[in-house]
Amino acid sequence: MTRSVKTTVSFMAAILLLIAAILWQLSTGDIHLGLIETLRAVFDIAPDQTAWFVVWQLRMPHLLAAVITGGALAISGMILQTLTRNPLADSSILGINAGASLGAVLLIGASGVYHFHYSDNGLALVVLLGALLSASLVFFVNRQGSATRVLLGGVALTSVLNGIILLIQLQLNQFDFEEALIWLSGSFWDTDMGFLMRYFWLYLILLVCTVCALRLLSGLTLGQEMAKAIGVNVKLAQRLLMLLAIGVTTVAVSVGGAISFVGLMAPNIAKRLVGARPRLQLPLSWLIGTLIMVVADVIANNGFGKVTLPVGLIVAMITMPYFIYLLFFQKRHV
């Protein structure tokens, strides 16, 4: 199979699987809808009122949350893997998720102690600050540019921050503890469409910025020396791309909590299918990351009877075997 045929087949398969997963998500639940009912409700073609309510009021918010988190984590993972030149890099492994989660837990705890109500914007701010701080620490330690040091520094920082988060949780009252636990387990904790749409527009802006930065991303895949030779300002490109990675991670964590490994798995699968060509790897990573999240959401909500599991737990079950495979298969390159 030629490269162009393999690329076309990969994109077509990913698109068809994502469409099938979306229809599965919209039609499956306590109230099961047929395919025709679902399509009529989605496109508002003389739909049954019950079907319309179920699709648009109950299931569409979960779909939108899955699209935001899955796509954002996949894009973040691809950028981080390019910057560190390490196929095991991911926002959860490099401590960015843990830093963002620490910010959220601190805010939750402070609101309980000092009796104030925080806004969605306040939550996004502390999540962003936590992500920026943790990313800055990891890359400050790795000024020499070693991919191994980045990975080890991220793992160490994640362990430290998770320990601090646990200590804070033990001091919380029952209500705040449960709220923090929902966040840390990776759940779509707020499915209000107003909340989700604000993050969706921010996500689209960051997505457009990432597409505009494809030239920088392509240059860095060639290595720093070659990137300089073709006119890329490497230091500036690294800083801009790191800010983009932190930005999209912040959006994902704000919507879905501490969900791990989507950013690890999606770019690696895309790279195997279309190679290290950002103009192809980026959209395919987005498709795969979104597909993983949509499937995980369906399983979390419907796969265990009346019990709803955190979507982050299902994502970990899906992606962890691939992470272990990469850890052993890629160890000679890291």
Q: For the chain, give the mean pLDDT.
A: 88
Q: What is the pLDDT of residues 174-192, one digit of tens each?
A: 888 888 888 888 888 888 8
Tokens standing for residue 316: 């970990």
Res. 142 pLDDT band, cuts 50 70 90 = low
Answer whether 64's CB lies under 8 Å from 251's CB: no
Query: What confidence tens digit (pLDDT) does each residue in 183-238 have?
Result: 888 888 888 898 899 999 999 999 999 999 999 999 988 888 888 888 888 888 88
Which distant-in-sequence residues (6+ apart) come within 8 Å of 194 by Cβ? none
Angle made by CA atoms 235, 134, 69, in degrees to the nearest 5: 90
Query: Residue 54: what pLDDT?
Result: 93
- Among 243, 114, 113, 95, smallest CA distance to 165 is for 95
Please report, as a single letter, which amino acid is at residue 329: F
Determine contact, residues 6/271, Cβ cutoff 8 Å: no
pLDDT(272) > 50? yes
- Residues 41 and 52: their CA atoms lie apart, in Å, by 5
Residue 167's pLDDT is what?
Answer: 92
CB within 8 Å of 48: residues ≥ 6 apart: 37, 40, 41
**Distance between CA 299 and CA 310 in Å, rounded?**
10
What average pLDDT does range 276-294 have in this prediction?
95
Amino acid in position 25: Q
Residue 126 above 50 pLDDT? yes
Residue pair 108/183 in contact (Cβ under 8 Å)? The answer is yes
pLDDT value at residue 222: 83
Q: How many Cα atoms within 13 Å fall on the side-chain side of residue 135? A: 29
**Token pair of 187, please?**
């759940």
In the predicted model, is pLDDT for residue 121 greater than 80? no
Determine what percent of the chain is predicted with pLDDT higher than 90: 44
* Each residue's pLDDT tens digit, 40-91: 999 988 778 999 999 999 999 999 999 999 999 999 999 999 988 888 888 8
pLDDT at 148: 66
Q: Looking at residue 334, what is its pLDDT?
A: 44
CA pair distance 140, 84, nearest whole angstrom: 13
Within 8 A by CB and 6+ apart from 321, the residues are: none
